[in-house]
């Protein structure tokens, strides 16, 4: 398989801020190895994980103050990638430079810009307004490794139709397989949605609120190219006007998925949940556990798909009407790649 083309001028999730401290860590993004660490002032630094002298991985070295010392010959590099010390030399060589990558932090996630650093605008890092709304509480999730191409995971996160088949005990319910799915493109975003009218609560919502009967529930999948998906899903008592926007008495959650493309056959799914109810240790852990089950169900399917994609085949996959959002999503990513190439 040839090396994949990625949009580079975009903010990609690098890792949870909670996981990056004052120690060297290795991360791979878009097939490139980075060495990552937190400085004494709290800044997140990301450099190419290769010393320009003999290409030894800097992640095998050590942190000296706010500089990375190569573990092979002791050259040291600051957060900008400038060489600040070379053993046996009065002045560090000017051409000993390591590429550094802009970073930013929002929603507990550290983001990295893998393209032209001059175009990196921290104001453009994704941020969901509800994250700062005191009416919502946050359940920070995991960094789930998935042995599949990141666009395969993006396909999944543009697709409400798989839920009833893959997640029957957590996010789906039977009997509504033919419910209409709608979709539209908005610039570099694709929105896919469906409503289930007068149906039962999904399993993961059971016990959160007593509606006294069936509900009207919604699922809005917001995909932001190239690697962010936010699913707005919730329920309100049937017939109380939820489809028309009357949702004052409802369960509403936002499942945020931040995808790190690692290489052609693997990615990392960082996820968190926002809910319109106060934090509660027992409830939050139950929700966290239920979502782990659901996302591991997706992982199993996507990894099996990747294994099949890696096999030689003479026939092409067929497309269905339910693939419309995924087709739009991949078209946006391809347009971004082509625009950068131009």
- Per-residue pLDDT of the chain (342 residues), as tens digits, is 344 679 999 999 999 999 999 999 999 999 999 999 999 999 999 999 999 999 999 999 999 999 999 999 999 999 999 999 999 888 888 888 999 999 999 999 999 999 999 999 999 999 999 999 999 999 999 999 999 999 999 999 988 877 776 766 666 665 555 568 899 999 999 999 999 999 888 888 888 999 989 999 999 999 999 999 999 999 999 999 999 989 889 999 999 999 999 999 999 999 999 999 999 999 999 999 999 999 999 999 999 999 998 888 887 877 787 778 889 999 999 999 999 988
Domain identity same for 306 and 225: yes
Residue 4 falls inside a structural domain: no
Give the CATH number of the domain where residue 113 resides.
2.102.10.10
Instruction: Give the Cα separation of 269 and 138 in Å (integer).
Output: 17
Give the CATH number of the domain where residue 208 resides.
3.90.380.10
266, β-bridge pairs: 263
Residue 18 falls inside a structural domain: yes
Domain identity same for 172 and 305: yes
Number of domains composing the chain: 2
Domain identity same for 117 and 148: no
Domain identity same for 305 and 165: yes
Q: Dihedral sign for Cα 222, 263, 303, 317, please.
A: positive
Strands (DSSP E) contained in 215-292 are: 215-224, 228-237, 250-263, 266-275
Domain identity same for 114 and 168: no
Domain identity same for 160 and 298: yes
Domain identity same for 50 and 147: no
Residue 159 falls inside a structural domain: yes
Domain identity same for 149 and 118: no
Q: Are 29 and 261 in contact (CB under 8 A)?
A: yes
Domain identity same for 146 and 93: no
* pLDDT confidence of residue 1: 36
* pLDDT confidence of residue 169: 66
Could you give the C-alpha distances from 19 to 26, 86, 143, in angstroms and in order? Answer: 12, 30, 10
Last residue of a domain, one of 87, 122, 157: 122
Domain identity same for 110 and 175: no
Residue 2 falls inside a structural domain: no
Last residue of a domain, one of 89, 104, 122: 122
Residue 6 falls inside a structural domain: no
Domain identity same for 178 and 273: yes
Domain identity same for 164 and 117: no
Instruction: Give the Cα separation of 125 and 234 in Å (integer).
Output: 26
Tokens of 41: 């002032």
Instruction: Give the Cα separation of 208 and 233 in Å (integer).
Output: 14
Task: Supply the range of the domain harboring residue 91.
Answer: 11-122
């Amino acid at each position: 398989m040839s090396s994949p083309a990625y949009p580079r001028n975009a903010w990609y999730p690098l890792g949870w801020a909670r996981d990056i401290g004052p120690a060297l860590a290795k991360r791979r993004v878009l097939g490139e190895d980075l060495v990552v660490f937190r400085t004494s002032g709290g800044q997140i630094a990301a450099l190419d994980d290769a010393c320009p002298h003999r290409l030894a991985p800097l992640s095998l070295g050590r942190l000296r103050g706010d500089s990375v010392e190569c573990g092979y010959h002791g050259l040291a590099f600051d957060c900008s990638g400038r060489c600040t010390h070379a053993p046996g030399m009065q002045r560090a060589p000017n051409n000993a430079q390591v590429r550094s990558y802009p970073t930013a932090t929002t929603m507990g996630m550290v983001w990295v810009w893998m393209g032209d650093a001059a175009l990196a605008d921290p104001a453009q890092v994704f941020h969901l307004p509800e994250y700062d709304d005191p009416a919502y509480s946050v359940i920070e999730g995991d960094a789930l490794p998935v042995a599949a191409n990141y666009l395969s995971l993006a396909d999944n996160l543009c697709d409400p139709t798989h839920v009833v088949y893959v997640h029957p005990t957590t996010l789906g319910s039977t009997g509504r397989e033919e419910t209409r799915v709608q979709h539209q493109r908005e610039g570099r975003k694709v929105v896919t949605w469906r409503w289930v009218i007068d149906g039962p609560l999904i399993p993961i919502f059971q016990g959160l609120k007593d509606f006294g009967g069936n509900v009207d529930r919604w699922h809005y999948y917001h995909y932001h190219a190239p690697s962010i998906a936010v699913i707005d899903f919730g329920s309100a008592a049937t017939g109380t006007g939820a489809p028309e926007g009357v949702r004052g008495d409802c369960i509403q959650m936002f499942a945020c998925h931040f995808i790190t493309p690692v290489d052609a056959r693997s990615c990392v799914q960082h996820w968190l949940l926002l809910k319109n109810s106060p934090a509660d240790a027992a409830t939050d852990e139950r929700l966290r556990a239920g979502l782990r089950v659901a996302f591991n169900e997706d992982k199993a399917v996507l990894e099996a798909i990747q294994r099949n994609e890696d096999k030689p085949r003479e026939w092409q996959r067929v497309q269905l009407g339910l693939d419309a959002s995924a087709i739009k999503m991949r078209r946006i990513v391809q347009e971004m790649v082509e625009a950068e190439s131009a």
